[in-house]
Each structure stands twice: as structure tokens, then as C-alpha cells.
Structure 1
């Protein structure tokens, strides 16, 4: 229930952010007077480089806040980071994937002092050596390297006042002595999300509505510890352990449902019910990683070996009751009551080997491989609690899924002086999977081979002009929880149906970019997706009772095309007092395909009306980010951010306009940083969706997540601030972690 329409809507909205740059200048009439100011923002062969050390905004803040100010990176919910035009971003530390689940990565960034960051690299089109899926981009954080021994740390407290009050806190410690580095973090907090839904579906003869609240309290406790040891000048070995517990023991929804029938211009309310869901949703995540690195020469050639283990255990117990009401909304009788358990256990072993060889004449050859073995186990149990009571065999199933992914890649990069560089490569991936419902005749087998080419060209004719083109192809596999053939109910006749037969999507991404004076840019992109999948709403009728249902069926509906052009400017005014980061995106989306039924439920039980997805639509989005220095001492800052998204056509319907304004004030005092933010100041960040199936049926979603929040953050940095950070080691199973759904 927690993944209902929100997931489909939010994943479709790409919030594009503009660039922030400091103008490069170097002028002198005499050699003695020459002064050089480094470029803050540069375009390199396959990435954009943000030189944090030379940016005035990188003082007294956190890594997460700094990333929100980074060109091409944005965050609209303060919980995720997106790259220009990408579905998601993957965080790397010093060229290696962070060995954590997504939520823990964000917590780490919120507790990382920005003064420890040297550069941030934004890779919009990852080349073949990167393990990413679909349309993902990469944010690579390069930490400063100071050889000083000692200890330092960071203590952070945050209080978020929205619909509920949600406090959190963390402590981070770093230690370095000679060749040994150790870092650790412990973080904890609680967050209760309040949502208000108004859902409706029907046609010209009837209308079903559901209206009410969904309250999701959660508490979490997590942390990590990393060890890095320099064996000698050429060899390093590292180990990391990450742990995270999350408890959601009182997740509750309360919805009033009403059925209205229309005849001869008259309307009659025929049914009134109330549906309650009470859910316990707990998860535990343990990840281990061992990494070895060998430098084979002094030119940058190196060998990296990694092995990882991931254990993920989630329990979800839900009690659902639908109660019949009279015309005064008083309780009359219990219509249905059931209990459902949907556990998910994931065990993954991963291995990875990478080798980079620096060759003569500015050639670089990279090749390597990876292997992941995953087993998921979900024993879903469904029991009716009122007559006819007992286990429902149709909706109970024990689903075991095993998946083995073998990947090989090779890339060749060539630099033709300072003006021209190219990179070509390809990646081969074999996916061998088998899914089986042990107590039913349902089996899924896959053995897919994918060749995924990559090419990029970067041309810099003069200091003020840069032109680049990239092509990348990727496979996106469905999340493990989405493969389990379980059904999640919101009301008695409104539910989500997962699908073990969902195929992997294949993405073909093109990007052409022009940049002028490292301050202005234009990006044109074209992305084609085959076997595109989504949770598609289908209208149906239960054949035995004649009751109407609305089911969100996850399936591969067809193909998707996304065309966009973004105009961006990132510039500083009044000697750096005002940093402006603005962008305008114009886009056009095309969807081709249809979904005709539920692949799990047989047609003799429910008859669905096929949904035609042949549609297209234009949209535009404007976003601005402003950072204003209020004092000469550089200890007071004002932030003003705003975005507007026009109506956007997505698979499930039309997303109505969204806008939001955020205001923040930051104060730096010695080793303390205080930040006060007002998010969604005018309460306009709400989701509204209207969709039709082409046969006269419609469905609407009106969702208020109460995004207006007042957030106060206090951060204290202590110890030796020049301490070198521990080397982060890449996990061999990071793409697997992103599919746990945690």
C-alpha cells in the first residue's frame, strides 16, 4: 500500500536543475602581476567537474547540502538526489560506489562536513565500466587528501516540524594513524509521514471514491564502520560493514468509500464503507565488503578486486477491515476482514574485478567483470478472519527467485591533446534467473544476453566553448519486491498486483551538450526504452459478484520515448555575493503500448478492460536556486529556491501542475553551523493525476503529503579538520541493493 500511486507518479517526474559556475579569469600585463583563479565548473571527457575547494558556497555545510548546490544535481524532497534528466543517481566516493543502502547513503551525506570534499563529478552518461541500470547517472565525491594523523568527527541534530514532529541525530568519527584509517557513524531518528488521499474511478454509469488519511510512523537505527590499510605505496586493502534497522509498527490507513450510480440524470449512493489497514513493516539490512587495490605502475594503472555479501530481511504484516456504514456513516456490519503477511528475504554474493592500463600516446584501456548471485524468498500468507475464514490459497504463495548476473566490459579512451577526447566501449551482461511458486504451477525462467555499447566524444575548440556527445545503453531489471506475485490492498476493490513475469527494460540514451564559458549550457537528449514497465491502472469486474475493481497491474506495456532540451545558467554576481542557478526544460514524451489484464488472476475470476497507452504530451519546467551571502564575514547566508512543473503526461494519466518554494537561512559560528529551512512554503507541492483507459473509464489521484515543513539543523565539527578520510571501497553488489526497494 505504501508504494501505491506515489511511486508511479514520483518516479516519472524528473526535476531538472541548472548549473553554478565561477567565471575563469586570468589577465595581466606583466608576469609579476599574473593571478590565476581556478575554474569552479568544468566539462571533461565523460563528466562535469565541480571544484568545491574553489567555490564560496562550500563553507560550513554538509555534503548533502553541497550536492544540492552542485550543477545538474537537485533534490525536491530532501531525501533523494537527481541528475539532469535521470531517473535516479548513484553515489560514488573516490571513484567507488558507497557500500550502503540508498537511505543510509543520504544520512552519510547529511553528516559529511563539506570542508572534507575536494571535487564533485557528475556523470550523466556512465560508460561501460560502471555498474548502473537503466537511466541512472553517477555522482562521484572526491575527498580531500591530507596526510595528517589524528581524530575528528561530526555531531548533527535535526528537528523537522511538519504535520508531525520528527527528530533525528548522528555522530561520525574518523581516525588515522600512519597507514591505518578507520571511520564510523551511528545515526538514529524517527519520521512519521502523513498523507491525505482522494481516489476515484468510474465512467458515466458509476463512480467509486475513497477519501482519508494514511499515517506512516517509522523509527530507524543505522551506522557503518570502514577500515582502510595501506600495505605499501602500491597496495591497499579495505573492509566495510553497514547495518540498518527500520521499524514501522503502526502504519495505518483509514479511508471512507462510497459508490454512486448514475441513471437518467440522477445519482444514487448505493454503498458506504470504511476500510482500515494496520501494518507492521520492519526491515534489517547487513552488508559486508572486502576490497583490494594494486597499483601496477606510476602512470595510474591499477587492479581492483572486490567481494561483497548482502543480507536483507523485511517483514510486513497487514490487517485489513472493511466495515459497512449506514447513510449517517454509522457502523452496521463487517463486510470483510483479512490478515496478510508479505515477508521478503534477500541473500546476495557479489564479486568484481577491474583493471585499468595506461598506454602510450594517451590511450587508456579498461576491462573487467562482475558476478552476482541472488536468492529471494517470500512466503506470502493470506487468511480470511471472518466466515468463510481460513487460509486463502489463491492469494497465499511461497515465491523463491534466484538470479545470476555475469557482466564483462571493455573500454578504450584516447586523448588528442587538450581539445579532443573520445571513449568507446561495450558491456556484456548475462542474466540467468528462475522463479517458482512452490505450492502452485507457476514458474518463470530467464536466460538473457545483452550487449550494451557506449561512445562519447568531447571537443573543446577554445577556452570558452565545449561540445560533447554521448550514447549509452543499459538494462534495468525489476525490483525484487515487484516480482513477488503478491497483492497489496488499499481498499477491498482497489489494490496493487505485482508480476513475476515482468521483463527487464532496455534503455538507449543520447545526449548532446554545448557549454559556453563554463556558465551557460544547452543539453538536448533523446531516450528510448523498450519493454517499458509501470504500475498501470485497470478497470475490472469480478465475475461472481459483479463488483467493480481498480487494480494497479505491474507489466511491460510497450515502448517509451523521452525528448528534452534544457537551457541552463549558473553564474555569480556582485563578486560572489549572489549565486544564481537557473534552468528551463522543454520536453516531449511518447508512450506506445497497452495492458490487457492481470497476469496472475485468471479471466474467469475478473474481467479487465484493456488500457491503451498510446499517448504523448509536451511539458516545461522552470527551476531556480539562489544563494545570497548576507554578511562580509561569510557567516550568514540566505537561500531561495523555486520550481514549477507544467502538466505532464505519464503512463497512468496526466500529472497536474506542481510548484514549490523553499527558503533557508544559514549561520556559521566557529565550529557550529545552524540552518533553518522552510520547505514548500506555500503548500503547493501536491500530486494530482487524471487518467483514462480509452474505453470511457477514468481514475483520479489527489495526494497531499504535507510537504510544508520547518526544519532546524545544528551541526558541530570537532577534532583535526585536516584529517585524511578513509578510502571507500566499492561493493560488488551495489546494483542489487538498489533493487531491494528499501
Structure 2
């Protein structure tokens, strides 16, 4: 049911346009003179944007997640995931090293990290060849403050949210340093019920089906991390990171009322769909890091070895009952029981060496290896009470994947104003998927063996102290998530469901970006992206075995192009009393895809096409107003607007949200009140009308309007030096467990 909620919400992939669209990457850093904006600085370095928040009141009592939402080019439309300028996923780094957590764990990690510990935030919109990120991924690098004294400090956070249901969260973080040894840890817990209400309406000239009702998804989370960092000598260090996350989601429910109209027979039938699901998941990972400095110029060797163990156990029942127009439940007509466990084991290793020369030349070389095995032993039992017949369709899907990668990059400052970077990455993927009890011979063994050379180029020219221009080109691959490959259904109703697809192949992404920066306060970004074999979800609709069905199929769906332009500003006014971040952008999408066959069953449907173009407009702004001279009261006002746009499933209606925050600082305490989606305008509407007469419309209410109360207490020696955070060898694998 979680996958269904994620799939139908469409927010991760589509609503993120509130952030624009881009990516760049590393080159010889050539700093431009900073424009001080009352303890807040925003500037463009050769391969990244830098947001300096060292002593900003915005950071006081805030979390890393909250601070990132106010960072230029970064935003969140669902308060769960972060996006960078467009449809880019954000990979989080700490002090230049990636965090090693799954999506849920990362969300809780950022919402429990005190923002006071952050020195600056770097946004890398187009990562270079040395970064092991996929397709449209960008990087957010959080630089922590470096303090000198030993001791212990900590942070206690409590919050309560009231949306449709009440939600609570609590966390404690501790940080200890003594001489060469550093230890940091965090434990956090949360409990909430996520509610969504849907109206799904589809059909054609012969009839239609309308399903409407709520989905309730309760969640209890417990997680944390432990970092241990030891300085072996002046040139080498060893670090160990352990992350753990447990989630329990029992009694998730779907309660839909269905109306089926047959215009040929001139009859209308009613039914009820009631589903219940119990799920629990466990994510544990460990990473060992060794770093060796090889000379006084900054050359170094970095080695990582990591292990990831992911377990998810899910069982569900889906029952259909006859009904009348008043929704009175009558006899049961169909019952479906499913068990969908997922087990992922991964071992990863990376090696990176950076060699610096006195003539401002830097050469980076490295490689990585990932071995992943997944085990999905799915059970499917259906009983038709109308015919007194049963159907069993077990599916034991095993997937084995090996990825080998190597890269080389060269960086050079050709003059005090001009620098460049060129690189290439080679990736070889070998995989095999097996269904040992599949009815379809094609599913018995699916082997893939493919490789790609992925070039990268970045150029930066500092025209003068007020003007800077840069260009970057990047090529990437996008591999499907592991859950997308497991050939199972997730039911909305018995004839309306999502279908995963083991035949999905990696897509190729080519991006380029031109950036102009003026006085470190104003910027213009022009970008273009081309996606081949785009991985998405396609709605196939038609009459199969005498019944109108809708199947949302995960598949490769043609090509997609995006053209974007964004004009932005990060500046303070009125002697620093007002700090404002403002972006306005326009994006043009070109889609070209078609599908008429279910790749698993072979069933033929009327052709589904998306060859449409659309142009969309967006505004995003975050503002922080100091209300008193003592800097203890603050008001935050955030707003975004997304114009309607064409996506793979049709036309997504316009969205907007207005949020307020009132914050009070008192000694070591911070109290805040957040009013989210004040106007209740984050209502999703998708409409699709095909030339063949098929239509498929979806509306969704996520109940995003609500209030959140937060209390934070900082204790201990606040001058403690932060533990050295370490890279993880398995971070791109974790991204694919989402």
C-alpha cells in the first residue's frame, strides 16, 4: 500500500517542478568576493552554489531539513523529500561525504539534526564524474561547523503536528569529542497516520468506473545512528558509521465506493472495495572508512566498505462487496490475499584518489563495486464468491546485480578567472532476474549486460568581481528501483491496480546548464535535459475478459525533453531585518511515448499516447522577518506556485501553498509554531483524455493544511568539534530501495 500511495501521489516525480531544473559539478574552486547579507551569504563557486548560514537566526532552533527548505534552489512540496531545481532528487552529503540512509531514515535524520551545527550548504546541481549519483540526482552538501574544544553537547527536540490526524515526534542527539576520538549518535521516534482521499474516474464512450474514498496509513518509526571517528595520526584516520531504521505500518486501509456504468447495456452497478495491510520494515547499514593524506598539497586516498541489510514484510487483504447507491454493504463478491516480502542484501566498496599539483592541476581517479541480491517471495490467493472458484498465483522473484564503475577527472585553473574540468565515468552492469514458479517462460530468467561511458564537462569564468558565468554538461544512467522490477500487483481495486515490471531497463539522461551570477545575489539558469527510455508509469485502459480495467504499468516510455529558465535572488533588506529568497521560472516539456500492451501478460489495450508539449510557470519564495531588536522573535513566510503542466499520466493541475512560521528564542530554548498550506491549495488533480475516447482522471487530497508545534533545548558544551562524517560505498543502492 505504501508503494500505491507513493505511485498515485505522483509528487516525487512530478510536483517537484516547484524547484526549477538543473545540475552542475566540481571544478577548481575559485571563490568570488562574498556579498554579506547580515550573516547570510549566497554565492556561486565554479561547480556549486554556496549558502552560508553560520550564525543566521533562521538556523536557531531549526532542523537541517527546515533550513534546507529555505535554501535557494532547494524545496519540498510534501515535507518528506527534498528536490533541487526541477525534478532532481537530492543526495545528501555531510562534509563532502554521503549519508548512508534510506529515504525514510534520511528524512528523520535531517529533521533531528540541529541546524545550529551547520556552517554552510552547498548545492551541486550537476555532479561530476567522481560522484556516484544517478540520472537527475543533484547533491546537497552540508558543511558542519568545526569547533576546537573537547566535551559533550546535545540537543533535545519535541514536536506535535495536527493535520487530519495528530502526529508526534521526539529525538535526542549527542556529540562527544576527546582528543583524537569523536563519537556522535542520535535516537529518534515518531508516530503518525497519513491520510489521503482519492477520486479515480476512468472510462470511454461505452462506459465508466468511478472509485472514491480514503486511504489511511499509520506509521510508527524508531531509528538512529552512531558515528565513531578516530585520528590514527596526522595523515590518516579511521571511521565507522552505523545507521538503523525500523518502521511499522499496521492496519493501513483503503475504503472505496465504486460506481460502474455500462452505456451499452444501460445499467449501473455499485460495489465497495475494502483493503487492509500490515507492513514492517528494517534497514540496517554499516560503513567503514579509511582516509590517508599523501602530501602537503592535499592529495589523499579514500577507501570505503559497506554492507546494507533491508527487510520489508507486507501482507494485505482486498475484499469487494456488492452495494447499492447508498453504499450499503451486501454480499462479498471477491477476496484477494497477498504477501509481498522484500529482502535486499548489498555489499559495496569504493576507492578514490585525488592528486594535487603545484600548478593548480588536480587529477582524480577511482572505482566502485556494488553487489546486490534481492529476494521477493510473493503469494497471491484470490477467491471469487460468485463462481465459487479460487486462483493462486505465487511468484518467487530473485534478482542478482553487479555494478562495476571507474572514473577519471582533470581539473585545472587556466587563469585567475578561468577554470575547467573534464571527466568520464565507465559503468558496467550485469544482472539476472529469475522467477522460479512463473507461468510465463519469459520471467524464468531475465539477463542484462550493458555498459556506458558517461562524459562530463564544466567551465567557469569569473568576468569580474560582480559577474560570473559557468557551463556544464553531464550524462548519467537511471536504473529502476528494486521494487519496480519485482513483477507484482498493488491493488486499488481488483480491476484497478499498479503493475511492476522486471523488463524495465536503465534510461539515459543528458543534461546541460548555463548559469549567470550577478553580485552573488542574483542568478539566471538556463538548462536542457534529454531522457531516453524514460522510466515512468503508464495507464493502460480497456476491456479485458469482458471487464473494463485500468493498469498503471511501470515501463520505459519513449523520450522526454525539458527546457527551463530560472531567475532568482537571495538578498537581505532593511539592515538585515528581512532576508528573502525568490525564484521565478518557466519550463517547457516535450513528451513522446506510446504503449498498448501489458509487458507481463501480453494483453492488448487501446493505444495510450503522450506526444504532448506543455509550458509551465512557477514561483517560489521564502522570507524571514526579524520582529524585535533583540533578535528573539521571527516571522517566516514561504510560498510556492506551480502552473498546470503535462506529465506522463496527463495534465497536472496547478498547485500552490502558503506557509507561516513564528519563532521565539529564549536562552537555550527555541519555540516555534508552523502553519502549513494555510489556504488549503495543495490539492492534486490529473486529467487525461485520449484521442481514442479513453479518459482517466485522478484527484487527491493529502490534507496538508495543519499546525505544528516544536520545542528545542540545546545543552552541554556548544563548542564541541563535530565528528568527521564518512562516505558510504552503498549510497546509490539505498536510493533504489525507496
TM-score, normalisation: structure 1: 0.94
Moved more, 561-570 or 74-83: 74-83
State the match for 2:725 in structure 1. 728
Select 2:532's aligned residue among 515, 530, 533: 530
CA distance in 2, matches of 1:189, 1:455: 43
1:464 aligns to 2:463 (yes or no): no
What are the equivalent positions in structure 2 for 1:584-595 lying under 5 Å apart? 584-595=584-595
Map 1:470-509; keep pairs closer than 5 Å: 470-509=472-511
- Are 1:719 and 2:716 counterparts? yes
For the residue of structure 1 that corresponds to 2:109, the secondary structure is helix
The answer to whether residue 447 in structure 2 is matched with residue 445 in structure 1 is: yes
> What is the rounded CA distance, in whole Å, between the counterparts of 2:714 and 2:450 in structure 1?
50
**Could you tell me which of 502, 514, 524 is aligned with 2:516?**
514
Shift of 1:512: 0.4
Matched, 1:698 2:695: yes
Task: Work out whether 1:662 is the aligned partner of 2:664.
Answer: no
Query: Take 2:622 and 2:288, find their aligned partners in 1: how far apart are those partners?
Result: 40
Q: Distance in 1 between matches of 2:482 and 2:470?
A: 36
For 2:420, the equivalent position in structure 1 comes to 422
Structure-1 separation of matches of 2:406 and 2:525: 30
SS in 2 for 1:406: strand
* Separation in 2, partners of 1:464, 1:109: 34
Change (3 A) 1:532 1:98: same
Deviations 1:689-740 (A, max 9, x none): 0012331100000100100010011111111111011111111110000111
- SS of the equivalent of 1:360 reads coil
Deviations 1:208-231 (Å, cap 9, x if unpaired)? 000111000010101111100000
Alignment partner, residue 221 of structure 2: 220
Residue 64 of structure 1, CA deviation = 1.9
**CA–CA distance in structure 1, aligned partners of residues 39 and 2 of structure 2:** 47
Distance 1:574 1:95 in 2: 35
Q: Judge conservation of contact 1:25–1:37 (CA < 8 Å) in 2.
A: no
The separation in 1 between residues aligned to 2:10 and 2:74, in whole angstroms, is 22
Distance 2:344 2:509 in 1: 26
Contact map agreement 2:347 2:372 (CA 8 A) in 1: yes
The answer on whether the counterparts of 2:650 and 2:686 sit within 8 Å (CA) in structure 1 is yes
2: distance between equivalents of 1:49 and 1:705? 33
Quote the Cα distance in structure 1 between the aligned partners of 2:566 and 2:321: 51
- In structure 2, the partner of 1:305 is 303
Q: Are residues 1:292 and 2:294 paired?
A: no
Which residue of the partner structure matches residue 392 of structure 1? 391
**Cα pair distance change 1:623/1:152, threshold 3 Å:** same
Q: Deviations over 1:177-209 (max 9, x none)?
A: 110000111111111011111110011221100
| CA distance in 1 between partners of 2:105 and 2:554 (Å) | 28
When residues 683 and 316 of structure 1 are mapped into structure 2, their CA distance, relative to the original with a 3 A threshold, is same
> Cα deviation per residue 1:67-90 (whole Å; 9 max; x = unaligned)?
222221112222221111242100
2:355 to 345, 357, 361: 357
Counterpart secondary structure, 1:128: coil
Contact 1:526 1:562 in 2 (8 A): yes
State the distance in 2 between where 1:18 and 1:698 align: 29
Structure 1 residue 392: deviation in Å?
3.4
Alpha-carbon shift at residue 370 of structure 1 (Å)? 0.3
Give CA deviations for 1:286-316 in whole Å, capped at 9, x if unaligned. Answer: 1011000000011111000000000000011
Deviation of the 1:52 alpha carbon: 1.9
Q: Which runs of 5+ in 1 are unaligned?
A: 27-35
State the SS of the aligned residue for 2:233: coil
Q: Cα gap change, 1:241/1:18 in structure 2, threshold over 3 Å: closer, same or farther? A: same
Q: How does 1:20-419 map to 2 (within 5 A)?
A: 24=34, 40-53=41-54, 55=56, 57-262=58-263, 268-385=266-383, 392-393=391-392, 395-419=393-417
Contact 1:217/1:248, CA 8 A, preserved across alignment? yes
- State the Cα distance separating 1:329 from its structure 2 match: 3.0
Q: What residue is the counterpart of 1:583 in the other structure? A: 583
Whole-angstrom CA distance in 1 between matches of 2:559 and 2:137: 18
Supply the distance in 1 between the matched residues of 2:275 and 2:515 (Cα, whole angstroms): 49
SS in 1 for 2:483: helix
Alignment pair present for 1:602 and 2:602: yes
CA pair 171-553 structure 1, distance change in 2 beyond 3 A: same
What RMSD over aligned residues (CA atoms) do the two structures have, in Å? 1.9
Question: Aligned in 2, Cα 1:529/1:18: closer, same or farther, shift over 3 Å?
Answer: closer
For 1:710 and 1:679, how far apart are their aligned partners in 2? 6
CA contact (8 A) 2:34 2:43 kept: no
For the residue of structure 2 that corresponds to 1:11, the secondary structure is coil
Query: 2: distance between equivalents of 1:287 and 1:312?
Result: 8
> Whole-Å Cα distance in 2 between the matches of residues 72 and 341 of structure 1?
41
1:620 paired residue number: 617
User: CA, structure 1 residues 25+245, in 2 after alignment: closer, same or farther (shift >3 Å)?
Assistant: closer
Secondary structure at the counterpart of residue 67 of structure 1 = helix
Q: Which runs of 4+ in 1 moved over 6 A?
A: 36-39, 388-391
Q: Which residue of 2 is the match for residue 541 of structure 1?
A: 543
Match of 2:80, SS? coil
Change (3 A) 1:721 1:389: farther
> Which residue does 2:29 correspond to in 1?
none
Secondary structure of 2:554 counterpart: strand
Query: Which of 716, 734, 737 is 1:737 aligned to?
Result: 734
Shift of 1:122: 0.7
- Deviation at residue 131 of structure 1 after TM alignment: 0.8
Alignment CA distance shift 1:626-1:23 (3 Å): farther
Judge which range, 365-374 or 640-649, deviates more. 640-649
Q: SS where residue 10 of structure 2 aligns?
A: helix
Distance 2:11 2:144 in 1: 35
Once residues 715 and 525 of structure 1 are traced to their aligned partners in structure 2, the CA distance between those partners, rounded to angstroms, is 40
Q: Per-residue CA shift, 1:634-676, capped at 9, x if unaligned?
A: 1111011111111110011000111111011011111111110
Q: Is the 8 A contact 1:23 1:39 kept in 2?
A: no
- 431 and 563 in structure 1: CA distance in 2 versus 1, 3 angstrom threshold: same
Q: Is the 8 A contact 2:160 2:169 kept in 1?
A: yes
Distance 2:48 2:87 in 1: 14
Measured in 2, the distance between the counterparts of 1:24 and 1:136 equals 28
Which sections of structure 2, spanning at least 5 residues, go unmatched? 22-31
| CA displacement 1:461-500 (0-9 Å, x = unmatched) | 1111010000011111000001000011101210111000
CA distance in 2, matches of 1:257, 1:428: 51
Cα distance 1:286–1:113, how it changes in 2: closer, same or farther (>3 A)? same
For residues 349 and 25 of structure 1, do their structure 2 counterparts lie closer, same or farther at Cα, with a shift above 3 Å needed? closer
Q: Which residue of 2 aligns with 1:567?
A: 567
CA contact (8 A) 1:92 1:141 kept: yes
- Contact 1:24 1:37 (8 Å CA) reproduced: no
Do the aligned residues in 1 keep the contact of 2:524 with 2:566 (CA within 8 Å)? Answer: yes
Contact 2:60 2:670 in 1 (8 A): no
- 1:217 and 1:688 map into 2 onto residues whose CA distance is 24
Give me the whole-angstrom Cα distance separating, in 2, the residues matched to 1:523 and 1:25.
20
